């Protein structure tokens, strides 16, 4: 819905939230670039969109024995077993988008 020079999402007219696409246009571009590079699912896009991070940087970036950079999100099979060792180049991410942008892939399990 267009109103007063701003574009708003459909829904509750009382809230009047501007579309996130216009607040952070790079977010969509980054998500599309990741999709073009390796393909991601709709649930991955949803995670990218909602992964604002904030103070809870709980995504684990793990380097496999073969050197592959894989990130694990809470709820995945190996999340609780994964340990982060910065000495090996492993790190924490605040959002899936941060991990994708850094060149890491999401764990398959």
Write down the mean pLDDT value for the chain: 72
Residue ranges per domain, the chain? 2-106
Percent of the chain with pLDDT over 90: 47
Please, how many CA atoms are within 13 Å of residue 53, restricted to the half-sphere of its CB?
12
Report pTM: 0.51
Phi and psi dihedrals of 71, rounded to 5?
-110, 150
Please give the pLDDT value at position 12. Answer: 47
Residues in the chain: 109
């Amino acid at each position: 819905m267009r109103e007063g020079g701003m574009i708003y999402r459909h829904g509750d007219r009382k809230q009047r939230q501007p579309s996130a696409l216009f607040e952070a246009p790079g977010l969509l571009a980054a998500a599309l670039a990741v999709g073009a590079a390796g393909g991601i699912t709709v649930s991955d896009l949803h995670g990218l969109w909602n992964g604002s991070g904030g103070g809870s940087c709980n995504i684990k970036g793990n380097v496999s024995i073969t050197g592959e950079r894989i990130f694990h999100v809470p709820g995945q099979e190996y999340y609780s077993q994964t340990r982060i060792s910065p000495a090996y180049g492993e790190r924490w991410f605040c959002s899936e988008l941060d991990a994708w942008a850094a060149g890491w892939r999401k764990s398959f399990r």
